[in-house]
Structure 1
Amino acid sequence: MSVVAQNLTWGVKRKTIVSDVSLTVAPGETLGLIGPNGSGKSSLLRLLAGLRRPGTGRVEINGQDVARITRKALSRQVAFVQQSAATDTNVTVADVVRLGRTPHRSALAGWSEADEAAVGEALTRVDMASRKTQAWQTLSGGERQRVHIARALAQAPQVMFLDEPTNHLDIHHQIEILRMVRDLDLTSVIALHDLNLAAMFCDRILVLREGAVCACGTPHAVLTPDILRDVFRVSAHVDAPADAGRPHIRFSAG
């Protein structure tokens, strides 16, 4: 499914947080959102996912205006993975992932073999199948994040929005999660803090500065020393492999 945003603007009171953002994500593409803290990445993701209504502009998913789609119907197509979540309820890992099946079930429908299979497959994909009976409260922050991604996968979405999903993970699981998302047969938009991870796993990257689009293109086109200096206020050298491999950023300490 494609995602198209046209002239999105959103803010709180008199403060504009997302300013006239337009973008297109092709079916099956992974678009990375990067920018300094406070640049509007999380707010833009929520607008794209239909969790917030823009002040102006519109979002279309597969040609449909998300403002005209019911929340349940939208949830059958779109999954959103936030940075972190907490609950005091005594639930297991499997209980959390089962919530991802809610959009596909009617109020009177029983739990089906297809539902159970979707939950099992989602847990396997994030390497948490052996923990399915474990209590949620006993998980580490990184493990909880993997379970939230499994819940999103259990939704069987065609578009996935992820808000810095690797924040609490060690480097091994950061790479494994992003590789898994990239290899899924769906469209994804990921807000990322680590620029080298964005370079490794995103087809294109959109750079936000103060809520507005500063640049958008391939990692090679966007991750340049000039843009890194102007947007992130850092000095960096960008290695661009001659064999068309992904660029790698080396930051200067001086």
Structure 2
Amino acid sequence: MTVTASHLIWGVRRRTIVSDVSLSVAQGETLGLIGPNGSGKSSLLRLLAGLKRPSSGRIEINGQDIAHVPRRLLARQVAFVQQSAATDTNVSVRDVVRLGRTPHRSALAGWSAEDEAAVAAALARVDMTDRRAQPWQTLSGGERQRVHIARALAQSPRVMFLDEPTNHLDIHHQIEILRMVRDLDLTSIIALHDLNLAAMFCDRIIVLQGGRIIASGTPETVLTRALLRDVFRVEAEISLAPQGGAPHIRFRAD
């Protein structure tokens, strides 16, 4: 599914957080959102996913204005993975992932073989099958994040929005999660802090600053020394990999 946004504006009280943002994401594309803290990445993700309503502007998923799509139908198409989530309820890993099937089931519907298969496949994707019966409260922060990604996958979405999905993960699982997302037959929009991971796994990158898009394009065209200096206020060396590989950023300490 495609995702397009036109002239989005959103804010709180008199503060504008997302300012005149327009973008387009092709079917199957992985788009990365990067920018300093407070640049509007999380707010923009929530607008695109339909979790917030813009003050003005329009968001379309596969050509449909999501403002006119019933919430339950939208939830069958779109999944959102937030930075972290907590619950005081003592439930199992499998119970958390089962919640991803809610949009596909009516109030009186029983648990189906299709539901069970979706949950099992989602747990396998994030390498949590062996822990499906483990209590949620006993998981580490990284394990909980993997379970929430599994919950989103169990939803069987066509578009996935992820807000810092690699927070709290060790480097192995950071790479595995982003590789998995990239290889899924989904349109994905991911907010990331790690610029090298964004370069490795995103087809295109959008740079936000002060709620506005200031750069957009492939990682090798967007991630320049000048942009890193001007937007992130860091000095860095950028190595371009041979044969079209992802650029690598090495930050300077001096």
Equivalent-residue separation in structure 2 for 1:214 and 1:131 (angstroms): 43
SS in 2 for 1:22: strand
Aligned residues: 254
Equivalence map 1:129-208=2 (5 Å): 129-208=129-208
String of CA shifts for 1:121-148, please: whole Å, max 9, x gaps: 0000000000000000000000000000
The structural deviation recorded for 1:10 is 0.3
String of CA shifts for 1:46-98, please: whole Å, max 9, x gaps: 00000000001010000001110111100000000000010011100000000
The structural deviation recorded for 1:36 is 0.2
In the alignment, what sits opposite 2:12? Answer: 12
Q: Where do 5+ consecutive residues of structure 2 fail to align? A: none
Equivalent-residue separation in structure 1 for 2:65 and 2:117 (angstroms): 32
Equivalent-residue separation in structure 2 for 1:65 and 1:151 (angstroms): 26
Q: Where do 5+ consecutive residues of structure 1 fail to align? A: none
The structural deviation recorded for 1:8 is 0.4
Does residue 1:58 correspond to 2:58, yes or no?
Answer: yes
The structural deviation recorded for 1:30 is 0.1
Equivalent-residue separation in structure 2 for 1:70 and 1:234 (angstroms): 44
Equivalent-residue separation in structure 2 for 1:35 and 1:5 (angstroms): 19
The structural deviation recorded for 1:241 is 2.0
In the alignment, what sits opposite 1:45? Answer: 45
Please report the RMSD computed on the Cα atoms of aligned residues, expressed in angstroms. 0.5
Runs of 4+ deviating beyond 4 Å:
none
String of CA shifts for 1:197-224, please: whole Å, max 9, x gaps: 0000000000000100010000001000
Equivalence map 1:1-254=2 (5 Å): 1-254=1-254
String of CA shifts for 1:15-71, please: whole Å, max 9, x gaps: 000000000000000000000000000000000000000001010000001110111
String of CA shifts for 1:116-175, please: whole Å, max 9, x gaps: 010000000000000000000000000000000000000000000000000110000000
Give the TM-score normalised by the residue count of structure 2. 0.99
The structural deviation recorded for 1:242 is 3.2
Give the TM-score normalised by the residue count of structure 1. 0.99
Code of the aligned partner of 1:79 = A
Code of the aligned partner of 2:41 = K
SS in 1 for 2:58: strand
Equivalent-residue separation in structure 2 for 1:6 and 1:127 (angstroms): 38
The structural deviation recorded for 1:244 is 1.1
Seq. identity, %: 77
Equivalent-residue separation in structure 2 for 1:108 and 1:52 (angstroms): 29
The structural deviation recorded for 1:243 is 1.6
Equivalent-residue separation in structure 2 for 1:6 and 1:251 (angstroms): 35
Equivalent-residue separation in structure 1 for 2:191 and 2:242 (angstroms): 28
Equivalent-residue separation in structure 1 for 2:41 and 2:207 (angstroms): 9
String of CA shifts for 1:233-253, please: whole Å, max 9, x gaps: 111111012321110001111
SS in 1 for 2:243: coil
Equivalent-residue separation in structure 2 for 1:214 and 1:230 (angstroms): 11
Equivalent-residue separation in structure 1 for 2:66 and 2:145 (angstroms): 26
